[in-house]
């Protein structure tokens, strides 16, 4: 992380330290006239926190658009469709923004599909449905909507999909998700491409499944799918997996199957620690690794990026409630918690944490923890941080993916509000959840005689 006091970029073009140009009476009284402060595009995060409260998710529209455009440029030499992975961040306004950039969607549940259709009913034609546990009702919804492709993950699922399509008398286009037994070299919870994982079918068993699908009147075999994991930074893993899948495509075509699509999945990682490398260079290396094994196959490539589109485009703002020392151990107790951002507790994930107001260079070693009654409620442990005071704001960076979407009401805490920034305008795209919102589906049980 570059020093806040130096006014250097944090996560451009979205989050940068700027010299305050606001000379309002409120700012002068606080003694921060002309101070360095972290902004989302042109808006100071301190102003957003004052207006909307904390914890608060803040997203940059410019960053999301820039990432979608970078994918388009990197893969412009091959027919392709970008199918944004909805599970990374499913807030409706984010989906609308991505749809406006021309992307499709990868969904893993009927609920995610309904979100996509809520944003744009016509988007179904660019939707890929993945996931190991599709229920009959979800299949009915997707077949009825006319989605682009089902990624089938088992023989049982194939039978149910065939029965569903036959009952509806509507064709379902299918690919089989194969498991290439390739290590993604990532956290075991988000690695999906080895034989011991629940996802996909072994490549050796795939031809038999395609033969079964070809016999079904309302199923149309059209593609092959693979996805080996998430937060992958070694692009060699993508190339290894797709080399095996390319061989399968050749075999299937020899057997008479019209394989037109190759769904390469998603999983491209981002840098959570320190400064981020050039995304343009990263995406170029990724594109080279993905496209090299596919030369000469004349396939339409489907890509399912999620984290790499929205991860760096969001921060979680939180306010320091208390400073606390237990012997020599220092704690910063903040108003955000593991129910707002679960990744550090779930994966031991690292997120950079920076003060919203720049200036001081003094540092300390401290834990950043939330108010939930769990020892696992933390955002950082033994982290070297800039010294901040009670009442100061912190920004937890790279929280745009798997942040709000993994939120919960643990300890009866309302979910954080979410704001989307476009240049100098902020829009609340999800209001703060109230206590009434949390209990509206519940009923107090009354004893009767």
b/e sequence 348-386, b meaning 16+ C-beta within 10 Å: ebbbbbbbbbbeeeeeeebbbbbbbeeeebbbbeebebb
CA angle 435, 436, 438 (to 5 degrees): 65
What is the sign of the dihedral through the CA atoms of 381, 399, 41 and 11?
positive
Closest CA to 228 of 202, 175, 264: 264
Beta-sheet strands, E only, within 21-160:
36-40, 43-44, 56-60, 80-85, 104-107, 127-129, 149-152
- Establish whether 39 is a catalytic residue: no
Q: Which ranges of 188-335 would DSSP assign to H, the alpha helix?
A: 206-214, 235-254, 279-291, 307-310
Closest CA to 201 of 218, 181, 221: 181
How far is C-alpha 76 from the geometric centre of its chain's CA atoms? 23
Closest CA to 267 of 311, 300, 314: 311
Closest CA to 255 of 208, 298, 324, 301: 208
Cα–Cα distance, 57 to 214 (Å, whole number): 47
8 A C-beta contact, residue 51 and residue 45: no
Active-site residue, selected from the candidate residues 39, 40, 83, 373: 373
Q: Is 418 helix (H, G, I), strand (E, B) or coil?
A: strand
Catalytic residues: 373
């Amino acid at each position: 992380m570059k020093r806040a006091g130096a006014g250097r970029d944090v996560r451009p073009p979205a989050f940068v330290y700027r010299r305050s140009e606001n000379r309002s009476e409120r700012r002068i009284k606080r003694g921060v006239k002309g101070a360095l402060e972290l902004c989302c595009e042109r808006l100071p995060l301190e102003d957003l926190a004052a207006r909307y409260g904390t914890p608060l998710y803040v997203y940059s529209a410019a960053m999301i658009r820039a990432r979608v455009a970078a994918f388009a440029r990197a893969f412009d030499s091959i027919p392709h469709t970008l199918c944004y992975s909805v599970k990374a961040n499913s807030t409706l306004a984010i989906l609308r923004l991505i749809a406006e950039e021309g992307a499709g969607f990868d969904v893993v549940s009927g609920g995610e599909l309904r979100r996509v259709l809520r944003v744009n009913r016509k988007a179904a034609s660019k939707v890929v449905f993945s996931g190991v546990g599709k229920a009959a009702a979800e299949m009915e919804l997707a077949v009825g909507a006319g989605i682009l492709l089902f990624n089938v993950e088992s023989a049982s699922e194939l039978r149910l999909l065939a029965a569903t399509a036959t009952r509806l008398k509507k064709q379902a286009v299918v690919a089989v998700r194969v498991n290439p037994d390739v290590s993604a070299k990532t956290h075991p919870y988000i690695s999906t491409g080895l034989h011991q994982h629940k996802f996909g079918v072994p490549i050796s068993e795939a031809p038999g499944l395609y033969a079964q699908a070809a016999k079904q009147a309302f199923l149309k075999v059209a593609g092959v799918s693979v996805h080996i994991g998430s937060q992958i930074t070694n692009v060699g893993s993508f190339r290894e997996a797709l080399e095996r899948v390319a061989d399968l495509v050749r075999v299937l075509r020899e057997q008479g199957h019209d394989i037109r699509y190759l769904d390469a999945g998603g999983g491209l990682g981002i840098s959570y620690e320190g400064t981020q490398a050039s995304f343009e260079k990263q995406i170029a290396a990724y594109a080279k690794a993905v496209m090299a094994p596919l030369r000469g196959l004349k396939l339409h490539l489907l890509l399912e990026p999620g984290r790499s589109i929205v991860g760096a485009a969001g921060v979680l703002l939180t306010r320091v409630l208390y400073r606390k020392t237990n012997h020599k151990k220092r704690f910063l107790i903040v108003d955000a918690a593991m129910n707002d951002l679960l990744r550090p507790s779930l994966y031991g994930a690292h997120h950079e944490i920076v003060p919203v107001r720049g200036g001081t260079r003094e540092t300390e070693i401290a834990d950043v923890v939330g108010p939930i009654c769990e020892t696992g409620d933390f955002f950082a442990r033994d982290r070297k941080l800039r010294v901040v005071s009670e009442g100061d704001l912190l920004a937890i960076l790279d929280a745009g993916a798997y942040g709000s979407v993994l939120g919960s009401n643990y300890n009866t805490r309302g979910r954080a509000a979410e704001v989307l920034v476009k240049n100098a305008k902020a829009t609340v795209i999800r209001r703060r959840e109230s206590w009434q919102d949390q209990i509206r589906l519940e009923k107090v049980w009354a004893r009767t005689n």
